[in-house]
Chains A and B, each alone.
Chain A
């Protein structure tokens, strides 16, 4: 059970994400964005939060062109798991691994606080760890988390159960208050809230741990 966390120039949640995976029992390696291939035997790739390339051009746009991202796309195409958090979610939409786009928050302000979330899809490997718990709280910290997609894409996401998390009340103007979405095969999750910042007692909130433990359990079950 191995996880790789990619570090881009400007990533700042990469070590937190390594810790999140490690606490759930993953053997975790950090991978620099200039690498052209993932280490062998990687089950999950983590794309961390931060400000890759200073958010120049568009958030995540330049990171999405990094050498390693081609192999991340190949990993996803093989049915591998990918977890993109915050800037990592932006990278996933820029690579096209997830639909839609993340735009400037409707209120134009950087939002940095814990927000209540609803767990909508509770069957994916990333969300099954929440069990019957449907209301959780996680920190958000972003300026560009306003999820936008065309009407057809939104209805498809809703109909296929691909909305993983929804803000319990509006945070950034996202369509349908979407906080996280899954790929068609349920193995790529992008989310703006930070589960890795809520995984141990000292964080004061451990709601995020279920993302990592649920994923770990899905490997054990398999």
Chain B
């Protein structure tokens, strides 16, 4: 099975990279970009009997720093 973990900075945490991308898009002439947030997508190739609870534990222990980041898990068959 595969799991995809999306890690994003929490709302309210300044994202300097997202801000730089936003500014670069403005510089290229793209109007109407009101905000950019940059995150990570982590793809895990897992044994079929891996539980969602185990993936959650992976996120809590290593994949996300929950002080500043939130995560979302998608399990794929």
Q: Are A61's CB and B68's CB within 8 A?
A: no
Q: Are B16's CB and A146's CB within 8 A?
A: yes
Q: Mark A101-142, 1 if CB is under 8 A from B, else 0.
A: 101111110000000000000000000000000000000000
Within 8 A of A (CB), among B10-28: 13-14, 16-17, 20
Closest beta carbon of chain A to B66's beta carbon, Å: 10
Residues of A within 8 A of B63 (CB): 57
| Interface assignment of B67: CB less than 8 Å from any CB of chain A | yes
Between A and B, 24 residue pairs with Cβ closer than 8 Å are: A57-B62, A57-B63, A58-B65, A61-B65, A62-B62, A65-B61, A65-B62, A93-B67, A94-B65, A99-B67, A101-B67, A101-B68, A103-B13, A103-B14, A103-B68, A104-B16, A106-B16, A107-B16, A108-B20, A148-B13, A148-B14, A148-B68, A173-B14, A173-B16
In angstroms, Cα B16 to Cα A107, docked, is 7
Interface of A is mostly: loop
Q: How many residues of B contact A (CB 8 A)?
A: 11
Pick the 9 closest A-B CB pairs, nearest first.
Answer: A101-B68, A101-B67, A104-B16, A106-B16, A108-B20, A108-B16, A58-B65, A101-B65, A104-B17
In angstroms, Cα B21 to Cα A83, docked, is 36
Closest-by-CB residue of A relative to B61 is A65
Q: Mark A75-101, 1 if CB is under 8 A from B, else 0.
A: 000000000000000000110000111
Residues of A within 8 A of B65 (CB): 58, 61, 94, 101
- Interface, chain A (partner B; CB < 8 A): 57-58, 61-62, 65, 93-94, 99-101, 103-108, 146, 148-149, 173
In angstroms, Cα B63 to Cα A173, docked, is 25
Residues of B within 8 A of A107 (CB): 16
Q: Are B67's CB and A103's CB within 8 A?
A: no
Tell me which of B20, B61, B62, B65 has the highest count of chain A C-beta atoms within 10 A of its own C-beta: B65
In angstroms, Cα B63 to Cα A107, docked, is 25
Residues of A within 8 A of B68 (CB): 101, 103, 148
In angstroms, Cα B13 to Cα A173, docked, is 12
In angstroms, Cα B63 to Cα A146, docked, is 20
* Interface contacts beyond A57-B62, A65-B62, A103-B14: sample of 15 additional A-B pairs, CB < 8 Å, sorted by A: A61-B62, A61-B65, A62-B62, A65-B61, A99-B67, A100-B67, A103-B16, A104-B17, A106-B14, A106-B16, A108-B16, A146-B16, A148-B14, A149-B67, A173-B16
Closest beta carbon of chain B to A192's beta carbon, Å: 16
In angstroms, Cα B65 to Cα A99, docked, is 12
In angstroms, Cα B63 to Cα A62, docked, is 9
Residues of A within 8 A of B16 (CB): 103-108, 146, 173
In angstroms, Cα B66 to Cα A101, docked, is 10
Tell me which of B17, B61, B67 has the highest count of chain A C-beta atoms within 10 A of its own C-beta: B67
